[in-house]
Amino acid sequence: MPDKITVLLVDDHSLVRRGFRRILEDDPDIVVVGEASDGDEAIRLARKLQPRVVVMDCALPGTSGLLATRRILEISPEVAVLMLSMHSEDTWVRQALEAGARGYILKNAVDLELAAAIKRVVAGETVLDPQVSRPAALKGERDCGLTVRELEILQLIVDGKSNKEIAAQLDLSVNTVAVHRANIMNALGIHKTAELVVYAIRNGLVNLP
């Protein structure tokens, strides 16, 4: 129905998707048109279904929710992406907003008003969960001087990916990845990968499974 808000649900847990679908099916203004379990499937379905809103899990296997968000918006800039995450740290909020998400809400919120959040992002609002740090996220501050791309590569380094694997996943050259890795280490004053991994985890710069 043309007047309904079409939604694509993206989460790697089928039970979570089922729960969200049930919540949204109770709202007469919203219809779930598809579900995806990873970032690549999300990109493919967003291109095919052209939903008005993509409800995107931040931590997805393979292609991350952040990268999937950027690629979906490159294809369909008019889509509103609402990011769902278990992380309240400002680093994650900022990355989501810089990737183009119009909202960031916590999955574990007791009073998760998903339908209301979807309607607000469709109306053009930026929706942030009350529990996250609003000012720094909206000002676009950087953590430790790293860019969004560098934080994305840092995540993959912590995941144990080689430069070649990172290059393939992000569609970059191996040399470009090597330059980013060097820039990350220089910015943080770290010279060994093991130390980099420990620092990133301790400072909440990466997502742990």
Fold adopted by 5-139: Rossmann fold (3.40.50)
- From 178, 155, 152, select the one nearest 69 (Cα to Cα): 152
CATH class of 148-202: mainly alpha
92-96, 99-103, 140-144, 185-189: the lowest-pLDDT one: 140-144
Please state, in angstroms and rounded to a whole number, the distance separating the CA atoms of residues 166 and 152.
10
What is the pLDDT at residue 91?
76
Residue 135's CB is within 10 A of a number of other CB atoms, namely 8
Sheet (strand 30-36) strand order? 30-36, 5-10, 53-57, 80-85, 103-106, 127-128
Q: What is the pLDDT of residue 142?
A: 47
Q: In terms of pLDDT, which residue wins out, 89 or 124?
A: 124
pLDDT tops 70 at residue 97? yes
pLDDT tens per residue, range 24-77: 988 999 999 999 999 999 999 999 999 999 999 988 878 889 889 999 999 899
- Kindly state the helix (H) or strand (E) to which residue 176 belongs, with its residue range: helix 174-188
Residues of the chain with CATH 3.40.50.2300: 5-139
Per-residue model confidence (pLDDT) at position 209: 56
Question: Residue type for 193, please?
Answer: T
CATH 1.10.10.10 maps onto the chain at 148-202
- At 135, is the pLDDT very low, low, confident or very high (cuts 50, 70, 90)? very low
- Alpha-carbon distance of 12 to 4, in angstroms, equals 25
